[in-house]
C-alpha cells in the first residue's frame, strides 16, 4: 500500500491492435518500455484509455498477467477490473489478484445506475478482495461519487484513494482529510499536485509525453515546470477534443508509435482535428514524444476492425 500511494504518475496505457483487430503484444511491450524509461511509476491495464470496455475478459486478464510477468518488478500494475455488474466485478477482481496485479481500479455502476446505498455496497464487496482505487468520472457514469459515498469507504483497509475527475477543489477537500487523490484530468493535474496536495495523476497524456508528465509531477524547480505546464495545456485539451481514447489513439498513430488500427466503434480524428494536433505535437521536442516520426496522415491510412 505504501508503494502504491507513493506513485505520482500512473499511465492509463493504450492497447494497440494488429490489422485483424487482435491485441498486439509486441507493440504493447514497446509502449510500456518507453513508460518505464521515462520514470512512470505504474500503469492501468485495460482502463478507458486501454479500451477495457472493448476487450473480452479473456483479453483483459491476459494483458494483466502479461504485464505482471514482464513488468511487475518495475511498475505498479493496476488492473481495471471494475464493472457495472457487481458479480462480474468481483469475479474479474478475484482473477486479477490471482494473477498478480498490485491493485484494482473500480468504477461505480454506470448505465444501469443504482442508489448511493447500492453504490456503497458495490464498492464494499470489491474492496474486500484487495487494494483498490475508486474512480469517480461522472461524465461517463452519470453519477457523481460525493464525499457522502467516499468518506465511509476510505476507512476500509483496502481503500487506496480516488481517481477524481471532479476537479481540484474536491481533491483539496479529500487530501486535507487524509484521503489520497490522483487527478483524472490531465490539464488540472499540475495545479492539483503542487497547489492542492494531490498524490499525482492517472494520465492519458503520459502515453505520448511520459517524460514531460514526469517533470510536471516532480516537485523540483516549480518555476520551470509551471512554464512547461502552460506550454502543454493546448495538447492536453486537444487530446480530449473527442471522447477519450479517440485522440490519444490518433496521436500515437501520427507519431508512428502504433499501427493505424482502430477497434470499432472508435474512428480517427478528422483531418481538420489532426491538423490542430499536428501543430501541437510538432511543438514538442522529438525526444519527448513516444514514436519515431510525425505525420498528418490521410483518412485512408486508418484501418477499422472489430
Please give the positions annotated as active site.
Answer: 135, 163
Number of helices (H), then strands (E), in the chain: 13, 10
CA angle centred on 150, ends 146 and 151, rounded to 5° = 110
Q: How far is CA 14 from CA 30, 47, 59, 75, 271, in A?
A: 11, 8, 14, 16, 22
Q: Which of 6, 301, 47, 21 is nearest to 160 (CA)?
A: 6
Q: Encode burial over 42-51: b for 16+ CB neighbours within 10 A, e otherwise.
A: bbbbbbbbbb
Total count of residues recorded for the chain: 306
Is there a contact between 302 and 253 (Cβ–Cβ < 8 Å)?
yes
Buried b (16+ CB within 10 A) or exposed e, 194-211: bebebbbbbbbbbbbbbb
Q: What is the dihedral of CA 124, 125, 131, 133, to 10 degrees?
A: -60
Check residue 90 and give left, alpha or beta (phi > 0: left; psi -120 to 50: alpha): alpha
What are residue 181's phi and psi, to 5 degrees?
Answer: -135, 140
- Pick from 218, 149, 224: nearest CA to 189: 218
Q: Which of 224, 218, 205 is nearest to 290 (CA)?
A: 205
Amino acid at each position: 500500500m505504501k508503494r502504491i500511494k507513493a506513485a505520482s504518475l500512473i499511465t492509463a496505457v493504450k492497447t494497440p491492435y494488429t490489422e485483424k483487430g487482435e491485441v498486439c503484444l509486441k507493440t504493447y511491450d514497446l509502449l510500456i518500455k518507453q513508460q518505464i524509461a521515462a520514470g512512470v511509476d505504474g500503469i492501468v491495464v485495460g482502463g478507458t484509455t486501454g479500451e477495457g470496455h472493448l476487450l473480452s475478459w479473456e483479453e483483459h486478464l491476459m494483458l494483466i498477467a502479461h504485464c505482471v510477468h514482464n513488468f511487475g518488478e518495475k511498475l505498479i500494475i493496476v488492473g481495471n477490473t471494475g464493472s457495472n455488474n457487481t458479480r462480474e466485478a468481483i469475479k474479474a477482481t478475484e482473477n486479477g489478484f490471482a494473477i498478480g496485479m498490485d491493485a484494482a481500479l473500480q468504477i461505480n455502476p454506470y448505465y444501469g445506475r443504482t442508489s448511493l446505498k447500492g453504490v456503497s455496497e458495490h464498492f464494499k464487496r470489491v474492496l474486500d478482495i484487495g487494494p483498490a482505487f475508486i474512480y469517480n468520472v461522472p461524465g461517463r457514469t452519470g453519477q457523481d461519487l460525493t464525499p457522502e459515498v467516499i468518506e465511509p469507504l476510505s476507512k476500509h483497509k483496502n481503500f487506496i484513494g480516488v481517481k477524481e475527475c471532479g476537479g481540484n477543489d474536491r481533491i483539496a477537500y479529500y487530501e486535507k482529510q487524509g484521503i489520497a487523490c490522483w487527478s483524472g484530468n490531465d490539464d488540472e493535474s499540475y495545479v492539483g499536485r503542487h497547489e492542492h496536495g494531490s498524490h499525482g495523476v492517472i494520465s492519458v497524456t503520459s502515453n505520448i509525453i511520459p517524460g514531460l508528465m514526469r517533470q510536471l509531477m516532480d516537485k523540483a524547480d516549480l518555476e520551470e515546470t509551471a512554464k512547461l505546464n502552460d506550454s502543454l495545456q493546448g495538447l492536453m485539451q486537444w487530446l480530449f477534443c473527442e471522447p477519450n481514447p479517440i485522440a490519444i489513439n490518433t496521436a500515437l498513430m501520427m507519431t508512428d508509435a502504433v499501427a493505424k488500427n482502430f477497434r470499432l466503434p472508435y474512428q480517427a480524428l478528422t483531418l481538420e482535428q489532426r491538423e490542430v494536433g499536428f501543430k501541437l505535437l510538432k511543438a514538442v521536442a522529438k525526444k519527448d514524444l513516444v514514436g519515431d516520426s510525425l505525420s498528418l496522415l490521410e483518412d485512408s491510412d486508418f484501418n477499422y476492425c472489430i
